Structure 1
Amino acid sequence: MGELFISLIVSFLTLGVPALLSLYNFIGIFHEWKKKILRHVFWALTILLGIFYTFGMMTLLDVIFEAEWTEQLYNVERHQPIWTGGYITVIVVSLVGIVGAIILLSNNVNKLPPLTTVLCITSIYLALIIQLLWAIQCLPIAFDFVGALYILVPINIFIIAFTIIREKIKEWCNDEFHEDKIYGKSPFIKKINSILIKCSNKWPIWGLFFVIPMLGIILIVLVLFGQEPDAIIKAWTETSDWTLSLKEAPQNLPMDNHYLCTVAAGGHRKLVKPIRMGERHGHRIIVNRQLLIANAFENILEEKTPRFHRSIRSFYDKYGFPIANLIRTHKVACDITYIIMKPLEWLFLIVIYLVDSKPENRIAVQYLPTSK
């Protein structure tokens, strides 16, 4: 009963909450919610929980966010969908859109110069472009039921943006009196505002005209702070495994969940010293001397004390798998495990030399491929 209750709670949090928020936002297209503050809270939850759920969902699908395309991955793991060097640019452009939305939501549009309103709409467009690129980039996981849920976040953000823009244009059009004095002192700015006053129903189109200039200004500022000029493009193309990727990552290697196999494959090469490829349970693995010695020692246990070996094997299988899951993507963790295992490696080696007449032969034949 307790497990069922927990399962229901987890299902509600992972599926029910996103579904309810999405439904609320969708209804908002056709129905104007009266409680604006509550609506804004739900919108904020949609974005924040959407980011959290997307990260969690992709982690479950073995997306390694810190792994650039040059890194060796294993089994079904995927490299990061956004290049590390482009994170700041993508985040800043998205934040500009959020700021634009907040300005519109926190002000009566009739008290803002039309140019300010249009620029806020433009900033929202920039955030939508990021969401569109994200949706396209992640299409390779859309065919997985869990993976397909990532699309809910961009869809909801598009719905929120549409609702904000439509609401603000309606708010402007409902007020027939707009004072010229609040629209700037510069003749040029006043001229633009005067033009925009006459075509308020076309503000969304005007917003498109300012997309490239605004993006250019943002990128120039980011360059001054050390970002690459083309980071907005490379954020998507300097990746592998995704729709917009232009890089070809090393082919994933199969990796056993035997945690010493994980150490051999995942640790820093200078420390763990992988020596060759081997074969375990029908697939190729990277082996180092520590792994070979440990397996040779296990062979001796299996030959000399089969009952004791079964107990040790059962214990190792029980705890080796979770350890492998914890350390498999962290080189430092693999290094630490390698160092911790070093005294046992020496003990295993002593036993092998005491028991076997040709100890190095026994060590050398471990994990040899059975076929080419």
Structure 2
Amino acid sequence: MVVVVILFFIICPIVGYFFYKQLRQKAKPATIVGEFVFIGLFIIAAASFCLGWLFNADDYYAAIDPVDGGYTPFASKHLPTLIVFFLLAFFGLFKLWLKGRSLPPLLFSLCVVFVIMGIPISLAVIFQTGHNTEQRDETFLFAALPFFYIVTSITVLFKIVSAEAVAASSKTYRNKFLNYLNQKLTKTETQPLWIFLMLVPVFVIVVAILMLFGQDANSITKVFTETTTWNFSQKTHPPFLDHKGHYLCTVAVCGTPNVVKPLRLGKRHGHEIIVNRQLLIANAFEELIQEKWPKLHQIIRAFYDRYGYPLSKKINTAKGSNFVYRIMKPLEYTFLIVLYLCCIKPEEKIAKQYT
């Protein structure tokens, strides 16, 4: 399985590069490589954004165990508005990147407007996710995607506007009115005004369409404010739930018996659980770390509480449990080696777990 994953991450970029090379046949090789690397970073940023969202997905009105995850920075009720604006922004950016001024005039204008609308929304996302009152460590995962969008948008827009200004300055029209408009548009100091005049009606039209599908007129602001624990949040959340303490190793025991090899029943916090050797070794290793290096144990436990438990909730099938059991095998052997190096009677320590 590990080999398959490694091959996937090796083959995908290679195939993606050749596919992108076909799309950009007219571009220089250095440009193609640079753009492809940038796209790769963009994809990584998007993946980190999704990962951060995965661990912070609950709405403000839900009572949660903070170990499970956190509250979402974007209100679910108004999320369609944010998604639509981002899709339009990325669509416009993609079109302008590939086609530039060769797009039809109306589509070109709309793409520019969509891209510009995405910039303040991206800034709002950065500010919204920049701080969490619960001091969760995943906040940095949200910043990369909107930051990359802003940088890319400004770069593409600057390139297009500069090229268009040069081209327009050399054009003349027989019609005096058209010639007058052309000269006005070539002046960089007036360009922001023209862009603003186009932004307002397009924004209003998009909002009006979204309202037909149940969104509010101010959903673009409510998506940030109707949240809790984030910068623009204006809601409070219910008291946190007590931590229940089901972990990844315990979930792995729920797999197919001939794979995970359950040994016996054990007791954890007064409840009976099924244990296997992998779980016993992992718990014995944790106990050893707690005894010998308590500060290191606190760091490991905090990390495991934050990531292991939320992940375990996603694994609720026999196949998933079997997969977890197998990928934890290297860790199991590592824990066992450490136990045999540091304990006088390692097997006794392992056997007494959950008794």
Q: Using the TM superposition, give the Cα deviation of residue 50 of structure 1 relative to its aligned residue in structure 2, in angstroms.
A: 0.9
Asked if residue 72 in structure 1 is aligned to residue 63 in structure 2, the reply is yes
Q: Using the TM superposition, give the Cα deviation of residue 205 of structure 1 relative to its aligned residue in structure 2, in angstroms.
A: 4.6
Asked if residue 106 in structure 1 is aligned to residue 81 in structure 2, the reply is no
The 1:201/1:108 distance shift into structure 2, 3 A limit, reads: farther
Counterpart contact for 1:118–1:206, Cα < 8 Å: no
- Tell me the SS of whatever aligns to 2:56: coil
Q: Using the TM superposition, give the Cα deviation of residue 231 of structure 1 relative to its aligned residue in structure 2, in angstroms.
A: 2.1
Q: Using the TM superposition, give the Cα deviation of residue 249 of structure 1 relative to its aligned residue in structure 2, in angstroms.
A: 0.7
Q: Using the TM superposition, give the Cα deviation of residue 293 of structure 1 relative to its aligned residue in structure 2, in angstroms.
A: 12
Q: Using the TM superposition, give the Cα deviation of residue 240 of structure 1 relative to its aligned residue in structure 2, in angstroms.
A: 1.1
Q: Which amino acid aligns with 2:43?
A: L
The 1:70/1:296 distance shift into structure 2, 3 A limit, reads: closer
Cross-structure match for 2:162: 170
Cross-structure match for 2:329: none
Cross-structure match for 2:51: 56
Distance 1:45 1:72 in 2: 37
Asked if residue 236 in structure 1 is aligned to residue 224 in structure 2, the reply is yes
Cross-structure match for 1:140: 131
Unaligned runs of 5+ in 1: 1-8, 18-32, 264-291, 299-308, 334-372
Q: Using the TM superposition, give the Cα deviation of residue 297 of structure 1 relative to its aligned residue in structure 2, in angstroms.
A: 7.5
The 1:204/1:96 distance shift into structure 2, 3 A limit, reads: farther
Matched length: 253
Which of 27, 36, 41 lines up with 1:41 in the alignment? 36
Asked if residue 215 in structure 1 is aligned to residue 215 in structure 2, the reply is no
Which of 138, 153, 163 lines up with 2:145 in the alignment? 153
Asked if residue 295 in structure 1 is aligned to residue 270 in structure 2, the reply is yes
- TM-score, normalised with respect to structure 2: 0.55
Distance 1:192 1:251 in 2: 64
Asked if residue 86 in structure 1 is aligned to residue 70 in structure 2, the reply is no
Q: Using the TM superposition, give the Cα deviation of residue 137 of structure 1 relative to its aligned residue in structure 2, in angstroms.
A: 0.8
The 1:158/1:116 distance shift into structure 2, 3 A limit, reads: same
Could you list the per-position Cα deviations for residues 16-75 of structure 1 after superposition, in whole angstroms to 9, with x for gaps in the alignment? x9xxxxxxxxxxxxxxx984444443443333221101222454xxx332x211111113
Counterpart contact for 1:237–1:244, Cα < 8 Å: yes
Unaligned runs of 5+ in 2: 1-5, 14-27, 252-266, 285-303, 318-355
The 1:69/1:201 distance shift into structure 2, 3 A limit, reads: same
Distance 2:184 2:30 in 1: 30
The 1:158/1:329 distance shift into structure 2, 3 A limit, reads: same
Asked if residue 120 in structure 1 is aligned to residue 111 in structure 2, the reply is yes
% identical equivalent positions: 17
Which of 95, 112, 120 lines up with 1:129 in the alignment? 120
Aligned-residue Cα RMSD (Å) equals 4.7
- Tell me the SS of whatever aligns to 1:243: coil
Q: Which amino acid aligns with 1:86?
A: H
- TM-score, normalised with respect to structure 1: 0.53
Counterpart contact for 1:68–1:79, Cα < 8 Å: yes
- Tell me the SS of whatever aligns to 1:210: helix
Q: Using the TM superposition, give the Cα deviation of residue 89 of structure 1 relative to its aligned residue in structure 2, in angstroms.
A: 1.3
Counterpart contact for 2:132–2:139, Cα < 8 Å: yes
- Tell me the SS of whatever aligns to 2:170: coil
Counterpart contact for 2:246–2:309, Cα < 8 Å: no
Q: Using the TM superposition, give the Cα deviation of residue 129 of structure 1 relative to its aligned residue in structure 2, in angstroms.
A: 1.7
Q: Which amino acid aligns with 1:100?
A: G
The 1:48/1:208 distance shift into structure 2, 3 A limit, reads: farther
Counterpart contact for 2:82–2:223, Cα < 8 Å: yes
Cross-structure match for 1:336: none
The 1:106/1:200 distance shift into structure 2, 3 A limit, reads: farther
The 1:80/1:180 distance shift into structure 2, 3 A limit, reads: farther
Computing the radius of gyration over CA atoms, which structure comes out larger, 1 or 2?
1
Q: Using the TM superposition, give the Cα deviation of residue 116 of structure 1 relative to its aligned residue in structure 2, in angstroms.
A: 6.2
Q: Which amino acid aligns with 2:164?
A: W
Counterpart contact for 2:60–2:237, Cα < 8 Å: yes
